[in-house]
Structure 1
Amino acid sequence: MVEVAGNPIKKFIVKQFLPLGFCFAVVLALLFPAPGDALYSLKVNGWKIITTINMALIFFIFGITLETSELKAAMKGYKVLLLAIVTILFVTGLTGFIFINMDFKPMEFGYGLAIFACVPTSLSSGVSLVIQGYGNAALALLMTVATNIIGIFISPLVVTMILASAIKNIKVNAADLVIKLGVSIIIPLIVGKGVRELWTPALKFAKKYKVPLYLINQFQIVMIVWQTLSHSRHELLKQKFYDILFAIMGAIGQHFFFLVIAMVIAWIAPFLKLRMQDSERKAFIIMCSQKSLPTAAVIISYLPGGPTKDEMSHETPAEQEGQSQGLGDLGLVAIPCIVFYVMQVFIDAFLANGWASKYEKGQALQDKYADQLAELAKLDPDAPSLVEPAANGIGSGADGTDAPATSEVHLGMVDNPEPGDNAALLGSNPQPSDGAGAAAALQISAAK
């Protein structure tokens, strides 16, 4: 989470900037759609200028705040990373075949959910929630980077395959989509990372102004939502309330579906000889259930609009012959994606809070019996420790002492971690459970 010094109102605005921004964007788009629609429609040679700039800024900031040391530390869990890439880009992506064939009215809502299933994991909210739940934040960050880069090449192909299965004569230029995503993602990311590594003032700037950079990043997402809703405002107001409600419920159900898929895969992983530490499992579940709204918005904005199957059904066969079918109003296609993006933060926050509560209870029991455990260790030095040591070097300082390792998470999500939390940010230390505390108490009684 973002830690900000200052008054409670300032802290609240920073931490809740994205949902507050979404609310403002919705109201502004519904009441005054003209400015947002004008920006959305601004094109040069087929390129949507403002949307591309928004996306480029998101990934430039992502690059300039990206810690190389975190990625190197996370590579120790490369097997979990590979499984996450397959799950995010292929397993959940191919569920798009389910959503595109659901009976949504208008059909654009189903198209939106199908496309959203194909995109990479979220950029910042997922890592923030992994930190909140004492998961492996470095691994979560690596999942974000890897899937968003690989997704440039995979997502357009999967989207094209899914849309072609349900939409007759649709023309999607997958190669063009790859180029546009590359310009929007790869180039800004490389430039941002290069500036950070090669120009010392940029590195100092990124560290000093993490919170403002974080807010600028979130503002770009709000801008994309505002432009998209402004463009589709006319069509949105024509829809029946229960159709919109069905789309909202579909987006929420889709996220729960992805959570179940991630949990099932994490559960069967040991049977495939892939053992996950608890912190890795948390990162896997959160990141594999989340999706990136900016990437989805860019893909949608460059897909062909035009008449849908329902609209073409009113035409004669002769009129339909050879006519290319489109996705309809692209703003409507984006609406379930926006709902999914907002709801994934709230739903996963409950999950992360539950994990954090369990971890903190275990830590409290361990701290309570710390002296007694130390005495037991002196009485029988060869006995196995009740408190498992930190792994992968986490929990020991550079000099070999017990000082916790530091972890600076991108986009300013963690500025001032609580004492003892730093090891948890990288997530390698096993987490004590209530059962471990009870066992300690029993052994202490026996010793006395």
Structure 2
Amino acid sequence: MVEVQGNPVKRFVVKQFLPLGFCVAVVFALTFPTPGNALYQFKVNGWKLVTTINMALIFFIFGITLETSELKEAMKGYKVLLLAIIHILFVTGLTGFIFIRMDFKPMEFGYGLAIFACVPTSLSSGVALVIQGYGNAALALLMTVTTNILGIFISPLVVKLILSSAIKDIKVDALDLVVKLGVSIIIPLIIGKGVREVWAPALRFAKKYKVPLYLVNQFQIVMIVWQTLSHSRYELLKQKFYDVLFAIMGAIGQHFFFLLLAILIAWVAPFLGMRMQDAERKAYIIMCAQKSLPTAAVIISYLPPGPSGDHNEHSKSAEVATGSKGLGDLGLVAIPCIVFYVMQVFIDAFLANGWASKYEKGQALQDKYAAQLAQLEKLDPDAPSLITPSGFSETEPITCGSVNNASRVPLDVQVNVQEVSDKSRLLGDVAEQSDCETVSKRIVAS
């Protein structure tokens, strides 16, 4: 998350730059689509040049701002990381079979949701929301890096598998997609990270201009959305309102489905021997529910287009001539992806704010206890601290919330244990451990 100093308007614009940018992009695309459409269709040797440049800039900036120390710290949670990789690239990816079979009209909307299920997690918004919710930001960042690199090789294969199940004779060149994603993602990422590590001025530049780099990164995503919508403006306006509304609700429902799936797996994981700390669980839930719009846009832009709509006689003759079917209008395919991306920011921000509120209330409660203990020490600084109460051993551990131990603790201390239990539910495992020490000290002092 980028911290911004200055007036409230500036902070608001920076924090809400992406949704504001999307609103501007939609207005320009629908009212004046010619420039965006021209950029979208500008190709050099089969490469959509402007889209590739947008994507490369996103990952170059991602690489030049990527701190190695954070990634090393995150490796401590490697088990959660491995589970997240499987979840993001395979579990949610295979749910594409569900969405591609849904009765969307036009069918491009269903293709879009199916493709979006296959791509890696989001680049910046997910990590920012994990930080906002007091989750493990380093682990979230490592999930982003690993899934976006591995996704270069895995996502095209999963996309081809899912599309082939619904579109007969579709030709998806998975190897070509891997090459294009590699050029758009992995090469700029390596260059950005390499420049940061070997050239000191680049490191200073990345730290000094973190906010402008963040905005440039977000602007590239807005550019991709603007070009895509401009290209599909005519087809989009032809659609019936309730069909578009159904696609929007489908995209929102897909994100809620991914959230519930992530919450369920995070809840089940400890029963399978993979205990997650509270901060790790937050990172897992957010990152496994989010998807990367730039990666989806690049994949869609290089998939075979085809006749859109209901396949009239002209469309059918075109299919016969080419010998295969395409996805229809690729801009329509991208629309549910854009909706999903926008809504995941708002929905997950609500979730992160709830976590933050809970955490901050717990911290306030912890500060309250700390202040009271400090006052007690000032009132009686000479009180003995190593007196063992009757019925206790000096080396016997006391577990907070334990029924067996609670039954052996004096009544006034049991009240304190209950207060600690309430507090532990707010703060999680770390607070529980510190509060156990507090209760132990109170028992010793008694």
Q: TM above 0.5, one fold?
A: yes
* Structure 1 residue aligned with 2:341: 341
| Structure 2 unaligned blocks of 5 or more | 378-382, 388-393, 401-426
CA distance in 2 between counterparts of 1:32 and 1:378 reads: 80
Cα-to-partner distance string for 1:266-294 (whole Å, 9 max, x where unaligned): 11111211110010000000000000000
Cα-to-partner distance string for 1:329-388 (whole Å, 9 max, x where unaligned): 00000000000000001000111111111111111111001144466997359686999x
CA distance in 2 between counterparts of 1:199 and 1:319 reads: 53
| Structure 1 unaligned blocks of 5 or more | 388-427
One-letter identity of the residue aligned with 1:297: A
CA distance in 1 between counterparts of 2:261 and 2:55 reads: 29
One-letter identity of the residue aligned with 2:165: S
* Structure 2 residue aligned with 1:66: 66
One-letter identity of the residue aligned with 1:44: V
* Structure 1 residue aligned with 2:268: 268
- The answer to whether the Cα contact below 8 Å between 1:113 and 1:337 also exists between their aligned partners in 2 is yes
Q: CA 1:371–1:161 in 2, change beyond 3 Å: closer, same or farther?
A: same
CA distance in 1 between counterparts of 2:330 and 2:80 reads: 36
Superposed, 1:131-280 pairs within 5 Å as: 131-280=131-280
Q: CA 1:349–1:118 in 2, change beyond 3 Å: closer, same or farther?
A: same
- The answer to whether the Cα contact below 8 Å between 1:291 and 1:341 also exists between their aligned partners in 2 is yes
Superposed, 1:106-117 pairs within 5 Å as: 106-117=106-117
Superposed, 1:24-423 pairs within 5 Å as: 24-307=24-307, 310-311=310-311, 320=320, 323-373=323-373, 379=385
CA distance in 2 between counterparts of 1:378 and 1:53 reads: 70
Q: CA 1:229–1:431 in 2, change beyond 3 Å: closer, same or farther?
A: farther
State the 1:430 CA deviation.
Answer: 3.8
- The answer to whether the Cα contact below 8 Å between 2:307 and 2:315 also exists between their aligned partners in 1 is no
Higher relative contact order by CA 8 Å / sep ≥ 6: 1 or 2?
A: 1
Q: CA 1:266–1:38 in 2, change beyond 3 Å: closer, same or farther?
A: same
Q: CA 1:365–1:109 in 2, change beyond 3 Å: closer, same or farther?
A: same
CA distance in 1 between counterparts of 2:315 and 2:3 reads: 58
CA distance in 2 between counterparts of 1:108 and 1:163 reads: 11
One-letter identity of the residue aligned with 2:186: I
One-letter identity of the residue aligned with 1:80: V
- The answer to whether the Cα contact below 8 Å between 1:308 and 1:325 also exists between their aligned partners in 2 is no
One-letter identity of the residue aligned with 1:303: L
SS of the equivalent of 1:369 reads: helix
State the 1:441 CA deviation.
Answer: 9.2
State the 1:317 CA deviation.
Answer: 9.3
CA distance in 2 between counterparts of 1:134 and 1:154 reads: 31
Q: CA 1:58–1:441 in 2, change beyond 3 Å: closer, same or farther?
A: same
One-letter identity of the residue aligned with 2:52: T
SS of the equivalent of 1:6 reads: coil
CA distance in 2 between counterparts of 1:153 and 1:378 reads: 65
One-letter identity of the residue aligned with 2:4: V
- The answer to whether the Cα contact below 8 Å between 1:359 and 1:431 also exists between their aligned partners in 2 is no
Q: CA 1:348–1:49 in 2, change beyond 3 Å: closer, same or farther?
A: same
Structure 1 or 2: more helix by fraction: 2
Identity %: 78
Cα-to-partner distance string for 1:160-215 (whole Å, 9 max, x where unaligned): 00000000111100000000000000000000000000000000000000000000
State the 1:307 CA deviation.
Answer: 2.2
- The answer to whether the Cα contact below 8 Å between 1:365 and 1:437 also exists between their aligned partners in 2 is no
Which structure: larger Rg? 2
CA distance in 2 between counterparts of 1:313 and 1:373 reads: 82
CA distance in 2 between counterparts of 1:439 and 1:250 reads: 50
Q: CA 1:299–1:319 in 2, change beyond 3 Å: closer, same or farther?
A: closer
Count residues with an aligned counterpart.
Answer: 407
Root-mean-square deviation (Å) = 2.8
State the 1:323 CA deviation.
Answer: 2.7
CA distance in 2 between counterparts of 1:84 and 1:269 reads: 11
